[in-house]
Amino acid sequence: MEFSDTYKHSGPCAFSPDARFLAVANDYRLIIRDVESLKVLQLYTCLDKISYVEWAPDSEYILCGLYKRAMVQAWSVSQQEWTCKIDEGLAGISHARWSPDSRHIITTSEFQLRLTVWSLVNTACVHVQWPKHASKGVSFTKDGKFAAFATRKDCKDYVNLLACHSWEVINTFSVDTIELLDLEWSPNDSAIAVWDCPLEYKVLIYSPDGRCLFKFQAYENGLGVKTVAWSPCGQFLAIGSYDQVARILNHLTWKSVSDFSHPSVLRSPITAVVFKEIEEPAELNMSALSVDEKDMQKSSQGGADNGCNNGSIRVRYAVEEFPISLPFQKAPVDKPNPKQGVGMMSWSADSRYLFTRNDNASSVLWIWDISRLELAALLIQKGVIRAAAWDPVYPRVALCTGSSQLYMWTPAGACCVKVPLPQFNVLDLKWNFDGTCLLLKDKDSFCCTFVPTLPGFGTNESPEDSDSDV
């Protein structure tokens, strides 16, 4: 893996959807860099400090949310003289996003008084009254033709369906929620998943015409849903709960096909491979390692050592044997927002794997094999997992813990890589959309690492057909 030099940032960084550009916010300046060379291509000066950055889906435009000034500015990459400024006046702006056609900007006013769709073509605007949330409660179909907006009126939650070509409301229906938390279209655009606040375990599946197709409620009288995620193929809906269980629903019957629990102790028989991060003197002789550990190191990096040196300390993964006790912490019952339950969950691009993090054991990443409905791997870190993300192309996950190491897992094994930059701790990470580059963020600087293609995954070969899969 190759690492770039470090560059300054003061907040959001975002890759363009076409994987060509990297936008970096540095106070009131927006810097557009070429992904391959990291050379500065454009430099824009905003009217205030940049709080939010988002690319248009066509990668032609980019918006900057200046929320301290309740303003949005947009720029064009190819036309440097083109600019746009949106100001809602006294209503303010708490969030902004692009529409799928890249020609409309959608803003939410302060206190969720209204949601406004601004046209960049004819300067027209459309208002939607009483949006439920500022940054949530909005979802678009995959083809970009329709949008679902969560609204609340007279103490009742509603879903408004709009046609994106005219932004006219084509349907409005109430939903059976106490306090709607969020909603999301299925990847095949056939259904809308709506879930309630944590005080009520309730996930509802609605058709676009407003019919409730299914109501899922795993239990009552307890904190409920924490995270929800559709699989990219649209065949599964994963629901993470405060009871430390991730439930997988299928798209045909909407019944649970498997419940993935997160116990504090794992015992045989389990076929999963458990990787535990350990530190040891860097002078450790390779002959002291077991045969399995040597093979895992070779498979992790094509024959390279999977450890990383940190001065005289070497950090690596060791393969553990069962039974295993995990670093489990019980959440206090007298404090709000308890750190418990499945708080992090994401699908791989091929929908075969799902990773979860139970907040009771926030230093452990669970990787599930959906084709076998069982645990595939377990990564036990020394620190709290701050961020984890799947490669957009290959079944490969990268994670960080705020240390100077980058950790990666593939079906072939796991490895840790020392970031060869002084005083650089990885606090967050983000993949480029083509999977060739990984952005690593420290507190006020960032770097990029260029990740090699996984062995056995060619351009004409799907991940399901590769020998690298388990």
Q: Where are the domains of the chain?
A: 8-87, 266-325+381-454
Give the class (CATH, top level) of 8-87. Answer: mainly beta
Q: Kindly indicate the confidence band of residue 127, based on its pLDDT and cuts at 50, 70 and 90.
A: very high
How high is the pLDDT of residue 314?
87
- Written as six digits, the tokens of 91 are 């209503």
How high is the pLDDT of residue 328?
87
Rounded to the nearest integer, the mean pLDDT of the chain is: 89
| Mean pLDDT, residues 34-56 taken together | 96
Vertex 299 angle, CA 303 and 348, to 5°: 135
DSSP output for 378-435: EEE-SS---EEEE-SSSS-EEEE-SSSEEEEEETTEEEEEE--STT----EEEE-TTS
Q: 443 pLDDT exceeds 70?
A: yes
How high is the pLDDT of residue 282?
74
- Please write the tens of the pLDDT for every residue from 169-225: 999 999 999 999 999 999 999 999 999 999 999 999 999 999 999 999 999 988 999
Is the backbone peptide bond immediately before 323 cis, with ω within 30 degrees of 0? yes
Task: Give the global pTM.
Answer: 0.88
Q: 339 pLDDT exceeds 90?
A: no
> Percent of the chain having pLDDT more than 70?
90
- Which among 119, 165, 129, 166 is positioned nearest to 149, based on CA atoms? 129
- Please write the tens of the pLDDT for every residue from 16-43: 999 999 999 999 999 999 999 999 999 9
How high is the pLDDT of residue 112?
87
- Which among 414, 402, 269 is positioned nearest to 355, based on CA atoms? 414
- Please write the tens of the pLDDT for every residue from 316-327: 999 999 899 999
- Please write the tens of the pLDDT for every residue from 392-437: 999 999 999 999 999 999 999 999 999 999 999 999 999 999 999 9
How high is the pLDDT of residue 315?
92
DSSP output for 108-161: E-GGG-EEEEEETTT--EEEEESBS-SSSSEEE-TTSSEEEEEEEETTEEEEEE
Q: Kindly indicate the confidence band of residue 270, based on its pLDDT and cuts at 50, 70 and 90.
A: confident
How high is the pLDDT of residue 301?
40
